């Protein structure tokens, strides 16, 4: 057992972090260290290969100790918008001091050029990683298909969805596929300095999503192309807070510019199976 590598996952009680921990433990090929602000949330996972440690990027002094002994580390980007670049800087510095050999970072597609409102901190983090002496893999996840479970229900209820994306689509990828890629990269011996765009199998447009929903739920779900101002007003009426509505409008704008249209074979290359398509994901997870 002492010969097994040690793989560390930060943010291990979040949706994605926890799933990566589970996938790594299923492989049984490494010792797994789960670092989280909430160790109690992982109490239900009992595995002799798992060690759970407390770690919070806002308390940097304790991070080196939490990371010490890890060979490879997955840095799950945090949800603390506005503070993330600084938090990630602390984690990267600590990984370096702790002697981590390879860092995997979960970024956002086209982080260095997209108009998506929350991309800047991903871009800053990528630059910090480039400037560090660490060997790294940056996984630029496209929009999670899971986001649609939050944005589509009001449109389903009213029988009409809106977007500003024109004829452009987005290669939505499921969070599960992102977790599978992250686990595979972490468990591999990959070294060097690489960046991959992690996408679903095909770019999907909102009119296509409306047609699928119509077929699947057997009642008409229309689609309307609107401008940015109207989309924001609709999101506000649908109950999305202003800040989140701004982010969602910027996501539509980015899709309309073709920033999320391209697909890659990264999921298949790293996991051996094709990524799940949006229709199958929605059929499994979207309830009326
Ligand atoms: N591509 C996309 O469409 C998309 C969509 C949503 C999110 N994301 C990004 O992907 C990340 C993971 O997604 P998710 O669905 O798993 O989100 P989530 O369940 O909301 O998890 C948030 C994550 O942030 C971590 N975190 C927050 N504050 C932290 C701190 N001070 N120190 C260390 N970690 C901290 C949490 O770790 P603990 O609570 O365990 O400490 C947790 O892993 C998100 O945080 C976000 O950056 C991308």
Inside any domain, residue 47: yes
Condensed to tens digits (0 to 9), the pLDDT of residues 254-280 reads 999 999 999 999 999 999 999 999 999
* DSSP structure string for 18-50: HHHHHHHHHHTSSEEEEEES-GGGGTT---TTE
Residue 45 pLDDT exceeds 90: yes
pTM: 0.97
Inside any domain, residue 38: yes
Q: Does ligand 1 come within 6 angstroms of the Cβ of 169?
A: no
Inside any domain, residue 246: no
The two tokens of residue 119 are 């991309």
The two tokens of residue 34 are 């789960």
Inside any domain, residue 15: yes
Q: Does ligand 1 come within 6 angstroms of the Cβ of 58?
A: yes
> CA 265, CA 141: separation in Å to the nearest integer?
13
Condensed to tens digits (0 to 9), the pLDDT of residues 72-104 reads 999 999 999 999 999 999 999 999 999 999 999
Name which of 177, 140, 158, 175 is nearest 272 in CA terms.
177
Q: Does ligand 1 come within 6 angstroms of the Cβ of 141?
A: yes
Give me ligand 1 centre to Cα 75, in Å: 10
Inside any domain, residue 244: no
- Residue 42 belongs to what domain range? 6-142+175-198+262-273
> CA 278, CA 146: separation in Å to the nearest integer?
9
Inside any domain, residue 220: no
pLDDT bin (cut points 50, 70, 90) of residue 1 is low
Inside any domain, residue 12: yes
Burial grade of 247 (CB within 10 A; 0-12, 13-18, 19 or more): middle
The helix (H) or strand (E) run that includes residue 163 is strand 160-163
Asked if residue 198 lies in contact with residue 173, where contact means CB atoms within 8 angstroms, the answer is yes
- Which residue among 14, 140, 285 has the greatest number of ligand 1 atoms within 8 angstroms of its CB, and so is best to mutate? 14
Give, using CA atoms, the residue closest to atom 28 of ligand 1. Answer: 78
Q: H helices of 55-205, where? A: 63-67, 84-97, 120-131, 148-151, 153-158, 175-187
* Number of folded domains that form the chain: 1
Name which of 91, 72, 197, 98 is nearest 142 in CA terms.
197
Condensed to tens digits (0 to 9), the pLDDT of residues 220-237 reads 999 999 999 999 999 999
**Angle between helix 242-256 and 228-237 (nearest 10):** 140
Residue 138's SS3 state is strand
Name which of 55, 60, 61 is nearest 34 in CA terms.
55
Inside any domain, residue 243: no
- Which residue among 13, 17, 149 has the greatest number of ligand 1 atoms within 8 angstroms of its CB, and so is best to mutate? 17
Give me ligand 1 centre to Cα 76, in Å: 6
Condensed to tens digits (0 to 9), the pLDDT of residues 159-186 reads 999 999 988 999 999 999 999 999 999 9
Residue 55 sits in a domain whose CATH number is 3.40.50.720
Q: Does ligand 1 come within 6 angstroms of the Cβ of 34?
A: no
Asked if residue 89 lies in contact with residue 121, where contact means CB atoms within 8 angstroms, the answer is no
pLDDT of amino acid 2: 61
- Which residue among 79, 92, 116 has the greatest number of ligand 1 atoms within 8 angstroms of its CB, and so is best to mutate? 79
The two tokens of residue 282 are 């929605």
Give, using CA atoms, the residue closest to atom 27 of ligand 1. Answer: 78
Distances (CA, A) of 30 to 45, 62, 89, 142, 270: 16, 24, 26, 28, 17
């Amino acid at each position: 057992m002492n010969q097994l590598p040690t793989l560390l996952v930060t943010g291990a009680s979040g949706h994605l972090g926890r799933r990566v921990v589970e996938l790594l433990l299923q492989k049984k090929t490494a010792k797994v260290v789960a670092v989280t602000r909430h160790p109690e949330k992982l109490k239900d996972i009992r595995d002799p290969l798992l060690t759970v440690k407390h770690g919070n990027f806002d308390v940097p002094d304790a991070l080196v100790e939490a990371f010490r002994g890890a060979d490879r580390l997955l840095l799950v980007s945090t949800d603390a918008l506005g503070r993330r670049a600084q938090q990630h800087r602390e984690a990267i510095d600590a990984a370096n001091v702790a002697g981590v050999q390879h860092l995997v970072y979960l970024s956002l597609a086209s982080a260095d050029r997209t108009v998506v409102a929350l991309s800047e901190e991903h871009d800053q983090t990528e630059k910090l990683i480039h400037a560090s002496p660490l060997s790294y893999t940056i996984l630029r996840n496209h929009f999670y298909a899971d986001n649609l479970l939050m944005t589509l229900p009001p449109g389903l209820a009213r029988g009409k969805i809106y977007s500003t994306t024109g004829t452009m689509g987005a290669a939505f990828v499921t969070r599960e596929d992102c977790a599978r890629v992250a686990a595979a990269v972490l468990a591999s011996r990959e070294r060097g300095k690489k960046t991959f765009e992690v996408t679903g199998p095909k770019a999907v447009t909102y009119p296509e999503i409306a047609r699928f929903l119509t077929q699947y739920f057997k009642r008409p779900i229309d689609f309307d192309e609107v401008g940015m101002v109207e989309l924001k007003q609709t999101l506000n009426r649908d109950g999305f807070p202003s800040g989140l509505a701004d982010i969602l409008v910027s996501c539509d704008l980015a899709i309309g510019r073709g920033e999320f249209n391209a697909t890659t074979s990264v999921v298949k290359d790293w996991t051996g199976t094709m990524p799940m398509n949006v229709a199958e994901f929605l059929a499994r997870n979207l309830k009326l």
